Chain A
Amino acid sequence: MSLAVAAVAAASACGSSGSTTTVTQKAANGGGDKSVLVGAGSTFVAPLVSQWEADYVKSPAAVTITYGAIGSGGGIDQITARTVDFGASDAPLSSDQAAACKGCIQIPWSLGAVAITYNVKGVPNKLHLTGPVLADMFMGKISSWNDPAIAKLNPGVNLPDTHITPVYRSDGSGTSFAFTDWLTKVSPDFANSVGTSTQPPFPTGTGAEHSSGVVAAVQATDGALTYVDLAYVQANGLNYALLQNAAGNYPEPGTKSVLAASTVGTTNPDGSISLVNPPASAPDAYPDATFTYVIVPQSSPKASTLKAFLEYAVGPKGQAFGPDLGYPKLPSSIVASDQALINKIGS
């Protein structure tokens, strides 16, 4: 509590001294004030960024980070329009988005697990589920919790006949992208009828905005399930499912299984790395992990401040906050390539 007060006091001091200079030298991106960095985007990484906000303002750099968790789609929008200094997205930029962003660099600054959480009276924690079964649940093909397909995976569990309500993100979401990316790869049916997107056309269920919204919707509805960043599941003490990976195992979602997935990721031509559906050669890998990216313009009036912050974020100080929230520390190879990308930022 006192931490928050101190952070807030320091932040307000920075904010108010900055306001006079910001008014006179307003640029199109978050103001010309170099002691403020403004970012927006992914709710997946918001818990971690929130820790950075509180901590970084106390550092000698004394820079206030203001982050708006509006969803990956919103983050891409904002940075493309240069109305923020950095954007955050779990979904890598599509080729159209990369072109529209005009010289944006996308840097993986954290990684985490997309967890499946559910609220069904009578169903215990750590239910076993597979990708194809989840795909059918989200397509409406499996509509009650005691469906044979689910029962087969969970012998000995007494499943009620409650109706399944899939809950999905109605806003532009990188978590949706990571989830549908996995389902598309393990279910040809899903690939045909829904596909991979930050706003997938789910044929049934309830939509809610932001990670917090889908969690709230699940808690309000008996029989509901959704996909969300592990940090939200842990923060709210929710049930989560154990998902089967290609090796047939059901690894605990957490830093260990996410790191195992990160060692066998496939690099795409645009530099992004896909971690979903790791091959069977990684027996402990979590099947639906994802990197999450910060998107920055290659030339920015706040280049030096931005670089310093990003180095903090991907470096040991920033990454130290991750494991408690469920985000493993970035593998050193990624940190190294990140540094190369950060060095490209100039004014």
Chain B
Amino acid sequence: MTTETPTVHAPMTARRRWRFGDVALQGIAGLAAVGLAALMVLLVYEVVDQAHLSLSEFGLGFLNSSVWNTVHDEYGAADLIFGTLVTAVVALLIAVPIAIAIGLFLSELAPRALRTPVGTMVELLAAIPSVVLGLWGILVLGPFLNEHIEPFMIAHLGFIPFLDGYPSPVGLLPACLVLTLMVVPIVASISRELFSSVPSDLKQGAMALGATRWEMVRGVAMPQVSGGLVAAVMLGFGRAIGEAIAVAQVIGGSLTRPPNIYAPADTMASRLAAQYVGTATSLQKASLAYLAVILLVISLLTNVAAQVIVRRMQRRMGHG
């Protein structure tokens, strides 16, 4: 047995350990960033992969076709796109003015004492899980609309083609209203931030020149924040088209285009939620995944666009 003089290594000093730690931390943190990128890529890839049978079978014609037939194994998203757009647009039409008014209220008009409680209430509305809103929609809102509001609307507004029909506790109308409840807090909190961020010297300058509060808002604040409001509306739109659970609960899962606003209908997200587990054929499952692809594309586009607008606004206002 030979004895060798053991080689002596310089002991790991605390400093060296921490320098190693520096690299390690940067490495792990960088890994997280890479992981995020990988997650996004994987997300798009996986969803498209689930859909590829339908993508290759129907191509873009899928968007134009109203067929959804498991007996003939033929599918198309047109009726669903219709339902999605109608519910989202109606929800936005109701929600956006209310939300902007709330944003104004919270940033400009409310006495200080009221701002926190009302602001908290708006945020609490945002925090209510969608399944709870859907439950309330099925068991409270739907029957109420069916018994009181829809007959009234049919009687008095029935001359308008889309507003004439038979009352129903499930359908487009409850879905629109439930989506409105979800969109209002999103747009309201962004509006509030936007209005608060208008430089006060601009606001006070206008008032000093004799403008009323409303004129100041209309002439000074609104133009400043209009870009941001557009972004907020886009985010609200993205939320509305993507909501699956609450809509599935109240929209009545119909397989055909609704003849009026009271009739049962369906949206892309709620069809996906209702049918994805337990499809009759694999082409049907792929077609449902195709709906997910459409939702993904729309949400990516609206979100990126909204972010770009926000960045541009921040840069303009000197935050960048």
Contacts and interface: CB of A to CB of B under 8 A. Distances in A.
A and B touch in their complex, CB below 8 angstroms: yes
Interface of A: 70-77, 96, 100, 163, 165, 170-172, 194-209, 217, 220-221
Nearest to A221: B169
A200 B71 contact: yes
B125 interface: no
A34 to B, nearest CB: 27
Given A163-B166, A204-B256, A206-B264, 18 more contacts: A96-B281, A171-B275, A172-B279, A197-B71, A197-B280, A198-B70, A199-B284, A201-B71, A201-B255, A204-B254, A206-B168, A207-B252, A207-B264, A220-B138, A221-B146, A221-B168, A221-B169, A221-B170
B142 A220 contact: yes
Nearest to B169: A220
B70 A200 contact: yes
A172 B278 contact: yes
Interface in B236-279: 252-256, 264, 266, 274-275, 277-279
B280 A198 contact: yes
B274 A207 contact: yes
3 tightest A-B CB contacts, nearest first: A74-B278, A207-B253, A73-B278
A172 B275 contact: yes
B227 interface: no
Interface residues of B, number: 30
Contacts of B284: 199
Contacts, number: 91
Nearest to B139: A220
Nearest to B266: A207
A163 B284 CA distance: 32
Contacts of B264: 205-207
B143 interface: yes
23 contacts: A72-B278, A73-B277, A73-B278, A74-B277, A100-B282, A163-B166, A171-B277, A171-B278, A172-B280, A195-B71, A195-B72, A199-B279, A199-B284, A201-B68, A201-B255, A203-B255, A204-B256, A207-B252, A207-B253, A207-B255, A207-B264, A208-B252, A221-B146
B69 interface: yes
B253 A209 contact: yes
Interface of B: 67-72, 138, 142-143, 146, 166, 168-170, 252-256, 264, 266, 274-275, 277-282, 284
A67 to B, nearest CB: 15
Contacts of B168: 165, 206, 221
Contacts of B70: 197-201
B169 A73 contact: no
Nearest to A173: B278
Contact of A206 (B252, B275, B282): B252
A197 B75 CA distance: 15
Nearest to A71: B278
A137 to B, nearest CB: 15
Contacts of A165: 166, 168
A205 B252 CA distance: 8
Contacts of B170: 206, 217, 220-221
Nearest to A75: B278
Contacts of A76: 278
A144 to B, nearest CB: 10
| From B71, B146, B169, B252, residue with most partner A Cβ within 10 Å | B71
A81 B252 CA distance: 30
A194 B274 contact: no
A202 B279 CA distance: 16
B94 to A, nearest CB: 24
Nearest to A72: B278
Contacts of B278: 70-77, 171-172
B147 to A, nearest CB: 10
